[in-house]
Amino acid sequence: MELTEIITQSITAINFHGLIFLLGSFTVASLSDLRRMAAQQDFAEVWAVYAGLMFFYDLYLSMTGAMPATVLAAKWLIILAFAVTATNQKIHFNISLMDIAAITALISTLTPAYIIATLILLLITGELLNPILKPFGQAGAYPYLPVVLTTTILVLLIHTTGIIQINPPITPQ
């Protein structure tokens, strides 16, 4: 398996529709986060189930030969590394578990190259929106779900406009 095969994987129609679903849930959760600096726990549960379903979908694609096993391994190792790093007390990203659940759901929908690009985009978007979101925060913290929402919109725009050209999507056989 070459590195180019991992990088050139594209978002499937199912993944694209998953992003649209997440966009809706992130919108509602972001409004709650802006108003109360907390989204309902139900959102985190839905996002955890969603990420689990995406794992099983990827596993199915890998078992049927529609996704190389190395792509499956690379994708979920990146996701696991993010989740462990984000929740580690020594390397904490200063985001809540709710935010980590949202990001995990988002990146579980994407391919390895999109995951890395999305994590970088999250950092940049967070820095750009920080001054706008600070007044909504408390005790130095600020609502982060609007950053996840904005990044999701940007990922959808990048994918739909074709700004980043990637090979045709993987389709189940």
Whole-prediction pTM value? 0.86
Per-domain residue ranges of the chain: 11-161
Note the pLDDT tens digit of each residue in 89-130: 655 567 888 899 999 999 999 988 889 989 999 999 999 998
Q: Is 58 exposed, middle or buried (0-12, 13-18, 19+ CB in 10 A)?
A: buried
Output Rg (C-alpha) for the chain, integer angstroms. Answer: 16
The DSSP annotation for 117-154 comes to: HHHHHHHHHHHHHHHHHGGG-BTTB---HHHHHHHHHH
Note the pLDDT tens digit of each residue in 136-168: 877 777 888 999 999 999 988 888 887 765 444
